Structure 1
C-alpha cells in the first residue's frame, strides 16, 4: 500500500513537471510576442517600458523550465533536498512574476504620456521614403491600425512633408483598403481613414502590456493557491511539498 502511495506521488510530480514546462513555454511565447509586436511601434515608445517586463517574463519562463528539470531529477532520485531546491526556485519565479505585474502596471500608466510626447515629432520627421525609419513606422501604423494623422487626417496639413509636397494630399497609407485608385487626395476625404492614430497606438501598446500583466498574474495566483493548499492540508513538511505540486495524498519522499 505504501509503495503504491509513493509511486502515485512520484507519477503526479512528474506530470506536474510537464505542466511547468508547458507553463514555461507560455511565458516565453508571451515575452517573444511582446518583442516582435513592440518592434513595429518602437518609434512611439521608449524601449525600457515594454522590453523590461518582456525580458522579465521570459526569465520567469526559463526558471520554470529549470524547475521542471530539477523536479524530474529530484522525483526520480527521491531526493528531499532536490525538492526543497525545487520549492526555492519556484519562490523566485513567483517573485519574478509579481515584479512583472508591478512593472507592467507602472509602465502601462506611462504609455499615453510617452506616445503624446513622441508622435508629433515622428510625424514631423516623415518624408515619405522607405529609407526613412520614421516614414516606415508611420506608414505601417496607418495601414495596420487603419488610421490617418495624429487625431484626424487633416493633421497632415501641419507637417513638413505636406508643405514640401504641395499636392494637397496625405500619404497613400491613409487610403482605405477597399478603395481602388486612391491617391490620398484631400479632395476625396471619403477615401481616407477618418480616425487618428494616436489613440489607437496607445490602445495597442496598452493591450501588449496587458498580455504580459495577465499572464504573469495568472501564474502567480496559481502558485499562491497551491502553496496555501499545501500549508492548510498538511503540516508535515515533506507532505506539504507534495501537496504544493498537486498531490493530495500518498507517502513522503525520502531524503
Structure 2
C-alpha cells in the first residue's frame, strides 16, 4: 500500500517537472516581452522601475528550468538529496514570486508620476529629425497609441520645435490614419488625434507591469493548486509523514514531503 503511494507520488512529480519546464518558457517569454516593449517607451520611464521585475521573472524562469532538471533526475534516480534540493529551491522560487508581485504593484503605482515628469522633457527636446532618438520615440508613440501631444494636440504650441517651424502644424505622426491629406495643420483639427499621449503611455506601461504580476501569480497558483494533491487523498504511510504534509505550504511541497519521509 505504501509502495503504491510512493510510486504514484513519483509519477506525479515527473509530471510536475514537465509543467515547471513549460512555466519556465512562459515566464522567460513574458520577461523578454517586457524588455522588447520597454525599448519603445524607454524615454518616458526610468530603467529601474520596469526592468527589475522583468529581470527577476526571467531569472525565475531560468531557475524553474534547472528545478525541472534536478527534479526529474532526482525522482528517476530516487535521490533523497536531490529531492531535498528540489524542495529548497522550490521554496526560494515561491518567495521570489511574492517579491515580484510586490515590486510589480509598487512600481505600477509609481508609473503615473514618473511618466508625467519624463514626458515633459521628451517633448521639449523634439526636433523632428529621424536620427534623434527622442523624436523617433515621440513619433512612434503617437502613431502606435493614436495620440497627439501630452494632453492633446494643442500642447505642441508650447514646444520649441513648433515655434521654430512657424508653420502652425504638429508632427505628421499626429495625423489620423484615415486622413490621407493631413499635413499636421492645426487649421484642420479633425484630421488629428484628439487624445493626449501621457494617459495612454501610463496605461501601456501599467499593462506591461501587470503581465509580470499575472505571470508570477499564475505560477504561484500552479505550485499551490497543482495535481500533486491527488496522491494526498489517502493518508501517507506514517504519522510523521502526515504531520509534515499538513505543515507543507501547498500540495506540491506536501507531495515531496510524502516521498522524502516515506523513503526515509
TM over 0.5: yes
- Which protein, 1 or 2, shows the higher relative CO under an 8 Å CA cutoff with sep ≥ 6? 1
Matching residue within 238, 244, 251 for 2:252: 244
- Unaligned 5+ segments in structure 2 are none
Q: 1:186 aligns to what?
A: 186
Where does residue 158 of structure 1 map in the other structure?
A: 158
Secondary structure of 1:112's partner?
helix
Residues 202 and 243 (structure 1), Cα distance of their counterparts in 2 relative to 1, 3 Å cut: closer
**Are the structure 2 counterparts of residues 153 and 92 from structure 1 closer, same or farther at C-alpha, using a change threshold of 3 Å?**
same
Q: Does the alignment pair 1:13 with 2:13?
A: yes
Please identify, of 211-220 and 121-130, the stretch whose mean Cα deviation from structure 2 is larger: 211-220
Change over 3 Å in CA distance of 1:219–1:44 after alignment to 2: same
Rounded to whole Å, the distance in 2 between the matches of 1:207 and 1:32 is 15
Instruction: Confirm whether residue 254 of structure 1 aligns to residue 233 of structure 2.
Output: no
1:136 equivalent in structure 2 = 136
Q: Distance in 1 between matches of 2:97 and 2:3?
A: 37
Give matches, 1:1-255, under 5 Å: 5-225=5-225, 236-237=240-241, 240=245, 244=252, 254=263
Whole-angstrom distance in 1 between the partners of 2:84 and 2:36: 37
Cα separation, 1, equivalents of 2:7 and 2:222: 25
Q: CA deviation at 1:222?
A: 3.5
Alpha-carbon distance, 1:68 to partner: 0.2
The superposition leaves residues 134-189 of structure 1 with CA deviations (integer Å, 9 ceiling, x where unpaired) of: 10000000000000000000110100000011111000000001111211111111
- Using the size of structure 2 for normalisation, the TM-score is 0.87
Please say if residues 176 and 192 of structure 2, whose CA atoms lie closer than 8 Å, have aligned partners that are also in contact: yes
Residue deviations 1:186-225, cap 9 Å, x none?
1111100000000000010011111111211222243245
Contact map agreement 2:34 2:208 (CA 8 A) in 1: yes
TM-score by length of 1: 0.90
Aligned partners of 1:163, 1:132: CA distance in 2, in Å?
A: 18
Q: Alignment length, in residue pairs?
A: 254
Determine if contact 2:224/2:251 at 8 Å carries over to the other structure. Answer: no
Residues 205 and 251 of structure 1: CA distance in aligned 2, closer, same or farther (over 3 Å):
closer
- After superposition, the Cα gap between the structure-2 partners of 1:22 and 1:246, relative to the gap in structure 1 and judged at 3 Å, is farther
